[in-house]
A and B are shown apart, each in its own frame.
Chain A
Amino acid sequence: MSDPPAGAWRPDRDSAPWWERTGREEFAVQRCDSCGTARLPARAFCPACRTEGWHWEAAEPAGTVESWIVNRRAFAPGFAVPSVVVMVRPDAVPDCLLPGSWHAAREPVGGERVRGVFVPVRDGPTLVGWEPVVR
């Protein structure tokens, strides 16, 4: 993958530990210490029980395809056209929808099973992309 657009990736104080983990090729979720609810993206409070305590937990980078687009013009410098961006519902946090890059020669299929791939970017984060389980 080419460089992301300038300024696009700016981890904040909530998310920095999550991005550190993707750099180690770990797909992590926050698990609430009080009620056990998993959450993504990273933030301090559990939306279910409204408490702050949590721990990071490595999860299987697996999910299903909720939707996708095919970029037919360059919306940001440095990205190939055409290119697919996929929206995945991760098994570990099924009420979250994550956009990501798509790693297959064909387009996705609605509802198909996918697994995460870790995509290092020069001078940037390790991104989480997705590939089909059945190629």
Chain B
Amino acid sequence: MAFVVKRLLEFRDRTAIAGVGYTPFGKDSGVSTLTLACRAIMAALDDAGLTPDDVDGLATHRVGDSAAPSLVGPALGIHDPHWHLDQFGGGSVSHAVVAQAALAVAAGVAETVVCYRAINARSEFRMGGTGRALPVSPEVQYQAPYGYVAPPQQFAMYARAHMLKYGTRAEHFGQIAVTQRANAAKNPRALMRTPITLDDYLAGRWIAEPFRLLDCCLETDGACALVVTSAERARDLRRPPVLVSAAAWGGGQSHLSGGPSDPTVTAAAALAPRLYGQAGLGPADVDVAQLYDCFTYSVIVQLEDYGFCPKGEGGPYVASGATALGGPLPVNTHGGFLSEGYVHGVNHIAEAVSQLRGDAGDRQVPGAEVALSTAQPGYVLPATSALILRRG
């Protein structure tokens, strides 16, 4: 075990994110996911001061809805990548992709990896349960025959469990929507920039009780890409490097008997001590957090499971204003999936990079040095992943 820990500490700050790139976000991109991927990758490479000739690794995650590295590579004239990853999975693996790219770079398998996610989640492949074919997976047979098929339903179910156990209220969920919209108002990329009030939230139509419209993330067409390379190389590139201080994976409660079964505790609770230990930091050291917000509730449970407040107090913590810009822990400063757009986790990492480089404009957290960015915390399937990033 000591050996493992030592090796993990050797990984700390060895790799960096040297560039970020986006396509515009919208409701109908009018182009293929291959085109979106190429555009975001070219933007990220330009940000880093690199070209496709510098790239020797490609990585993505997807659920059969986007262009694979084996397609994107040839499309950009990257014909023989030394390393690639085509990770099946949803938001819970979003940060694992970057973590694995960092491991590949640290191991010397590749020098410069581009991680990307391209998605036409509004115009082609909606995730909100309107027309998407059901995945073929063994657990689906115990859910779909009851009409229980879509993420808004699943997260509403877990949110209600948290309300019942801890007294979490609609106003707590609403405060997250309101706060993130205020952040998005300061983000030129964001799809939804008109400020909202708690009354607007409460007046929203029901989707699946206890969730209203503004509990749910946007379905977005767009792409986002990140350039991962060694810390050493990143220091010679165009932009200030952002170091990967820690990366971790975790598991937790499941629909299968035999393990943890408290629906109010996520896989993040198991992951967090490993993540912080690897970085040599704790929750109090985090200056800004981008927490996976497929729904408002997922922010509340992660605030608890990543140790920012005691278990069960995520709702009151948010209501106190702690997660707003100017508070002790600004969360989802870009507006998150709720208001910026939904790029399946990658735009959270990109925003963390922006905050640590100090180029987040009107929504900049002054002096931000340490950022936490997280994947879907392990509902639906018991797996999550997260990164701690640090200004280089």
Interface, chain A (partner B; CB < 8 A): 4-5, 7-12, 14-15, 37-41, 43, 46-48, 66-73, 75-76, 78-79, 83, 85, 87, 89, 93-101, 110-111, 121, 124-125, 127, 129
Contact = CB atoms under 8 A, between A and B. Distances in A.
Contact of A75 (B136, B141, B147): B147
29 contacts: A4-B145, A5-B144, A7-B133, A8-B134, A10-B140, A15-B141, A66-B161, A66-B263, A67-B164, A69-B157, A69-B208, A70-B206, A70-B209, A72-B209, A75-B129, A75-B147, A75-B149, A75-B152, A75-B208, A83-B147, A87-B263, A89-B261, A95-B257, A96-B255, A99-B142, A99-B148, A121-B145, A124-B145, A127-B146
Given A10-B136, A76-B129, A96-B261, A41 B256 contact: yes
A38 B257 contact: yes
Nearest to B162: A67
A125 B152 CA distance: 25
A99 B263 CA distance: 13
B259 interface: yes
Nearest to A93: B257
A67 B147 contact: no
A75 B150 contact: yes
Say what secondary structure dominates the interface of chain A.
loop
B160 A41 contact: no
Contacts of A110: 164
A54 B115 CA distance: 44
Contact of B208 (A37, A48, A71, A101): A71
A85 B147 contact: yes
A73 B259 contact: no
A71 B205 CA distance: 12
B257 to A, nearest CB: 4
Interface residues of B, number: 41
B164 A4 contact: no
Contacts of A127: 145-146
B337 interface: no
Given A5-B134, A7-B133, A8-B149, A39 B144 contact: no
Given A8-B149, A12-B138, A47 B133 contact: no
B283 interface: no
For the complex of A and B, the 9 pairs showing the least CB-CB separation, nearest first, are A47-B258, A8-B144, A79-B147, A72-B206, A110-B164, A96-B257, A70-B209, A67-B161, A75-B129
Contacts of B148: 75, 85, 99
